[in-house]
Chain A
Amino acid sequence: MKSAVITFPGSNCDRDMDIALKKFGFKNEMVWHDDNELPKSDLIVLPGGFSYGDYLRCGSMASKSKIMNSVIEFANSGGLVMGICNGFQILVETGLLPGVLLRNKYLEFICKNIFVKVENNNNPYFKNLNKNILELHIAHNEGNYFCTAEQLKEIEDNNQIAIYYSDKDGKTDEEFNPNGSMKNIAGIFNKNKNVLGMMPHPERMIDESLSGEDGSLFFKNLINNIK
């Protein structure tokens, strides 16, 4: 299985994502933001970490990068595109995903382990996953998902909400919401479920010596689903 990770100026989780994808069997290639063409891939990943310093608005400048034209085209033709953290922010800026990501409710950067409840298994990312509550890691300043009432109705009607912040038992009460995100939303799909954006970093949870191993489950399942 082939994957590609885009490096924008200022990306800093690109290496971590490269390592994670390779660890679970992807043949991964790094792609420079200023390139025009994507290599032939089964999965495109927009990594986390402050593209263009997150100046102006998170993800906004990266969304206008040359390579993004090809990424948008790839997504519109049904290709799998996954954005993690800053990658999620870039995806909403391109319009591939609805809504926006606002500054965290308490106006502070948060770096910690959290739990998410997987809501929707009918998609290439979470299908066949034998666990519906995952422990993942977040590290962001702007993860507070927001959209209009009409957009919310639409994404709910289309089952576009991928994961919710929860406790370890899957309760999605407000107290388990780390950043004020609407409805505890931690990740969403586009209508066709081929584009996924999420704030948590599965690539930081792929080793028992690090924060945990639920990221491994996610990647193992993902590559099996693509095969």
Chain B
Amino acid sequence: MIEVNEKIAIEHGLKKDEYKKICDLLKRTPNITELGIFSAMWNEHCSYKSSRLHLKKLPTKGKKVIQGPGENAGVIDIEDGDAIVFKIESHNHPSFIEPYQGAATGVGGIMRDVFTMGARPIANLNSIHFGSPQHKKTKNLLRGVVHGIGGYGNCIGVPTIAGQTSFDSSYNGNILVNAMTLGLVKKNKIFYSKAAGIDKPVIYVGSKTGRDGIHGASMASASFDEKIEEKKPTVQVGDPFTEKLLLEACLELMAGDSIIAIQDMGAAGLTSSSIEMASKGNLGIELNLNKVPCREGKMTPYEIMLSESQERMLIVLENGKEELAKKIFDKWNLDFAVIGKTTNTKNIELFFDNQQVAKIPVNTLVENSPMYDRKWKKAKLPKKNKIKKEIFNKLKIKDILSKILSNPNVCSKEWIWQQYDHTVMGDTIQKPGGNSGVVRVHETDKAVAATVDSSAVYCWAHPLTGGKQVVCESWRNLISVGATPIAITNCLNFGSPENEDNMGEFVECVQGIGEASKFLEFPVVSGNVSFYNQTKEVGIKPTPAIGGVGLIKNYKQMITMDFKEINNLVLIIGKTEGHMDQSLFARTILDEKNGPPPEINLFNEKNNGETLLQLIKNDFIKSAHDVSLGGIITAISKMCIKGNKGFEFEKLNIFMNEIEYLFSEDQGRYIIEINPSDLQKVSKILEKNSVHFDELGKIIDKYLIINQKTKVTIDELKSYNTSWLKEYMN
């Protein structure tokens, strides 16, 4: 057996003082298995040691919140006894090393988090971020990730209904793959991970344990260097077929009353699942590792405890239910083994070949895990740029429009989402490419809308504003389809917490997220932190991804963004002030990367959104789209493309330059289509609620007409918007 010392501890990713703390807590030197367990539980990915302090400040409660952070996923109430379980999670590091398996197992992992709670997954989403399109790795990584997400989600038969893809050179050495799942469950049939009772059987089900993914969570807690290729064996391999069987078998068992607690084996596998169940139940747990079904011969306790083989679950059963449970797992051809029992010792005790191979007090691994108040630097709000108006005179709107619509971050992502089965399960009523994806709640009139968003550029320019903005963007995307926003999940992707600037970005983004979600009553119910997204010294742009979920009470009132009818009027809700800094226009056309992001006014945000919802509920809105990247003209163009209709601007704002008006990225705005005969009633409601709005023009056939000089056909718009990605990938 390997003698444990400080050097070995450091090789396990532990710091010197952390190793010392372990020895102090145990009052002895740990053996190698115990050290492995500590390193798995105390790494950043599992312990949240750098983030816990700040995450505590997020608002997590609300009238609709059934379960906030701390469980496998968050749970919200959608009335009539139904609940939605949802969460987003990162799989960044593995996806960069092995894009197909990394992305696939990311999808598999998040679905397991959701069905562990008793919910049938009903929708998948993802937020994926790649390096510059010119970077040599980008194309293969994109293809691999898309194939991986599709390969897993399509096979298991859960529709992928929405997503987000961006390109930025800061991801050249660290791509981001965040996967989100929504599941549907009856409120009175939610399962938790808290063990209860002594001498209850602990059951292992699912795939066999292999040597794959050992120390995956530790890898996700460190920066990349040039030896990154050597880490391939730490990437897990996904088996969606087994997961489908596991899903059906678990739901079948859950229909009865056999389960006390259930936890999937995700990061740090058997270690974290067993310890979390014991910790939450304030119990001990005893495992006989010889009983664990292994794929390979001669696996050591260390390997068994740290393997991250996929598609496995740990269950604490009621006594006497073993036979019944085994029958179900046999039917689905899955491994089933009683591997231990709960105890009152409050220790985790492991046995192998009739010997005790580890004995650790559970609280030392969980409550006593390190927590750091890392140093961080506050970001200054950058000064506004003064853009010389003469520049605008040299530019042609049509040229800018073609560049903006074909920009990799704006262009149609059809090439991606056509590879995802987005219609299986027969309830997808809004497909990818809209403001949010929408699925009906099976056999009811209700529907659930979901969106995933991030704005790394804004967060990078000013983290506090950026943090607020992402939450608002999520809120707007839900409102634009007619959904009442309920809650969010967040995936916080940042560089190294040991770097003061990166840590500052984290702290202030979280603060911004907290402020916005509190004001909008849009609480955070689950999430995940991914630090160390950096290669050597360079971190990614701060990229908190927000997954928002909302409810549409009558799905027939859902709104889509395609223009519906010629001669209908188009209005813009929210005030256009001409904020150009950090806009896509400033960054790509003027090549100006400095300046503050657009300001967020939470009062207006809430007021505008709620008023639009009221208009939607009164059936005034024919189509709607929020204004985001690329400004008014980009939003209008997309509505034209989707509806195959034209649009004529009739009243361009005369108080600013046309280009500023069309391309600025002021926040809190929506484009809406109404019937001309409703104008008076709609204006009255907007005025009564003090919502600023302007009339923009009307829907026409075939052309987008901006002014006398600028007339573009819808086919041209389509070709700007749809060609880039297809051509890039072929």
A interface, CB within 8 angstroms of B: 9-10, 12-13, 15-16, 19-20, 49-50, 52-55, 108-112, 137, 139, 141, 201, 203-204, 206-207, 209-211
Between A19, A52, A209, A210, the greatest number of chain B beta carbons within 10 A of the residue's beta carbon is seen for A209
| Residues A209 and B555 in contact, CB atoms below 8 Å apart | yes
Given contacts A10-B155, A53-B240, A112-B418, is CB(A210)–CB(B423) below 8 Å?
yes
Enumerate B191-247 residues with CB–CB distance to A below 8 Å.
Answer: 239-242, 244-245
| Residues A50 and B155 in contact, CB atoms below 8 Å apart | yes
Q: How far is the CA of A111 from the CA of B433 in the complex (A)?
A: 14
Q: Closest A-chain residue to B248, C-beta based?
A: A9
| Residues A53 and B241 in contact, CB atoms below 8 Å apart | yes
Given contacts A109-B150, A111-B418, is CB(A52)–CB(B241) below 8 Å?
yes
Q: How far is the CA of A52 from the CA of B332 in the complex (A)?
A: 11
Enumerate B406-440 residues with CB–CB distance to A below 8 Å.
Answer: 417-429, 440
Q: Could you list 22 examples of A-B contacts with CB < 8 Å?
A: A10-B241, A12-B157, A12-B424, A13-B157, A13-B424, A49-B157, A50-B154, A50-B157, A50-B244, A53-B242, A54-B155, A55-B241, A108-B418, A111-B418, A111-B423, A203-B426, A204-B424, A207-B426, A209-B429, A209-B555, A210-B423, A211-B423
Encode contact with A along B561-577: 1 for CB under 8 Å, 0 otherwise: 00000000000000000
Q: Closest A-chain residue to B438, C-beta based?
A: A209
Q: How far is the CA of A94 from the CA of B429 in the complex (A)?
A: 36
Given contacts A9-B241, A109-B421, A210-B423, is CB(A141)–CB(B556) below 8 Å?
no
Q: Point out the residue from B154, B420, B422, B425 that lies within 8 Å of A16, measured CB to CB.
A: B425
CB-CB < 8 A to B151: which residues of A?
109
Tell me, rounded to whole Å, the shortest Cβ–Cβ distance linking A7 to chain B.
Answer: 9
B156 at the binding interface (Cβ < 8 Å): yes
Tell me, rounded to whole Å, the shortest Cβ–Cβ distance linking A88 to chain B.
Answer: 16
Q: How far is the CA of A13 from the CA of B421 in the complex (A)?
A: 11
Nearest 9 interchain pairs by C-beta: A12-B157, A53-B241, A16-B426, A139-B421, A50-B155, A109-B419, A209-B429, A111-B421, A109-B150
Tell me, rounded to whole Å, the shortest Cβ–Cβ distance linking A127 to chain B.
Answer: 26
Between B156, B241, B426, the greatest number of chain A beta carbons within 10 A of the residue's beta carbon is seen for B426
| Residues B419 and A108 in contact, CB atoms below 8 Å apart | yes
B657 at the binding interface (Cβ < 8 Å): no
Encode contact with A along B319-332: 1 for CB under 8 Å, 0 otherwise: 00000000000001
CB-CB < 8 A to B155: which residues of A?
10, 12, 50, 53-54
Q: How far is the CA of A13 from the CA of B427 in the complex (A)?
A: 12
Q: How far is the CA of A129 from the CA of B325 in the complex (A)?
A: 48
Q: Closest B-chain residue to A17, C-beta based?
A: B426
Q: How far is the CA of A12 from the CA of B243 in the complex (A)?
A: 12
Q: How far is the CA of A201 from the CA of B156 in the complex (A)?
A: 17
Q: How far is the CA of A109 from the CA of B424 in the complex (A)?
A: 14
B333 at the binding interface (Cβ < 8 Å): yes
Q: How far is the CA of A53 from the CA of B157 in the complex (A)?
A: 11
CB-CB < 8 A to B428: which residues of A?
210
Q: How far is the CA of A16 from the CA of B425 in the complex (A)?
A: 6
Encode contact with A along B140-152: 1 for CB under 8 Å, 0 otherwise: 0000000100110
Q: Closest B-chain residue to A48, C-beta based?
A: B424
CB-CB < 8 A to A204: which residues of B?
423-424, 426
Given contacts A109-B421, A210-B429, is CB(A139)–CB(B154) below 8 Å?
yes
CB-CB < 8 A to A10: which residues of B?
155, 241, 244-245
Q: Closest B-chain residue to A20, C-beta based?
A: B426
Tell me, rounded to whole Å, the shortest Cβ–Cβ distance linking A41 to chain B.
Answer: 22
Q: Closest B-chain residue to A55, C-beta based?
A: B241
Q: How far is the CA of A206 from the CA of B427 in the complex (A)?
A: 11
CB-CB < 8 A to A109: which residues of B?
150-151, 154, 419-421
Tell me, rounded to whole Å, the shortest Cβ–Cβ distance linking A192 to chain B.
Answer: 31
Q: Closest B-chain residue to A207, C-beta based?
A: B426
CB-CB < 8 A to B156: which residues of A?
12, 50
| Residues B423 and A110 in contact, CB atoms below 8 Å apart | no
Q: How far is the CA of A210 from the CA of B426 in the complex (A)?
A: 7
Q: Closest B-chain residue to A107, C-beta based?
A: B147
Tell me, rounded to whole Å, the shortest Cβ–Cβ distance linking A5 to chain B.
Answer: 14
CB-CB < 8 A to A20: which residues of B?
426
Q: Closest A-chain residue to B555, C-beta based?
A: A209
Q: How far is the CA of A112 from the CA of B332 in the complex (A)?
A: 31
Given contacts A12-B156, A112-B418, A209-B429, is CB(A49)–CB(B424) below 8 Å?
yes
CB-CB < 8 A to B333: which residues of A?
9
Tell me, rounded to whole Å, the shortest Cβ–Cβ distance linking A47 to chain B.
Answer: 10
CB-CB < 8 A to B425: which residues of A?
15-16
CB-CB < 8 A to A211: which residues of B?
423
Q: How far is the CA of A20 from the CA of B427 in the complex (A)?
A: 12
Q: Closest A-chain residue to B431, C-beta based?
A: A211
CB-CB < 8 A to A49: which residues of B?
157, 424
CB-CB < 8 A to B429: which residues of A?
209-210
CB-CB < 8 A to A16: which residues of B?
424-426
Q: Closest A-chain residue to B241, C-beta based?
A: A53
Encode contact with A along B275-315: 1 for CB under 8 Å, 0 otherwise: 00000000000000000000000000000000000000000
CB-CB < 8 A to B421: which residues of A?
109, 111, 139
Q: How far is the CA of A153 from the CA of B515 in the complex (A)?
A: 70
